[in-house]
Amino acid sequence: MTKASLRVLYPHPTDAEKFDQDYQQHLALFHEKTKIPKDKPPYTVSKFHATPLGNAAYYQMFSLPFDSMEALQQTMMSAEMQSVAADAVKISTGGQPIVLIASDQ
């Protein structure tokens, strides 16, 4: 069975400090809607840093693994995740977040 993952790339926000605060509330909403315990989150949140070539193309990435593509698709279609997705768009002041679905081999 192919594993899958949801990845969300956030553009650089207009106010990084406010985005970071809003993102903590966003994660709380995610936990509330998905019933995933806060003490053992299955996801990772990665902040990107500048390189000698310049700023990173994105500010931050959220990555959530799934056991299968079917499980990912079922979760994404739920009303709870639609609410979380709408909140992600709302807090992303630097532009629309980029949503990627990957099959992990």
Overall average pLDDT of the 17-31 stretch = 97
Tally the domains of the chain. 1
CATH number, residue 82? 3.30.70
pLDDT of residue 74: 95
- Is residue 67 predicted with pLDDT exceeding 80? yes
Whether 6 is covered by a domain: the verdict is no
Proportion of the chain above pLDDT 90, given as a percent: 90
- Distance of CA 34 to CAs 11, 76, 94, Å? 24, 11, 26
Whether 62 is covered by a domain: the verdict is yes
**Domain region containing 70:** 13-104
Overall average pLDDT of the 41-47 stretch = 95
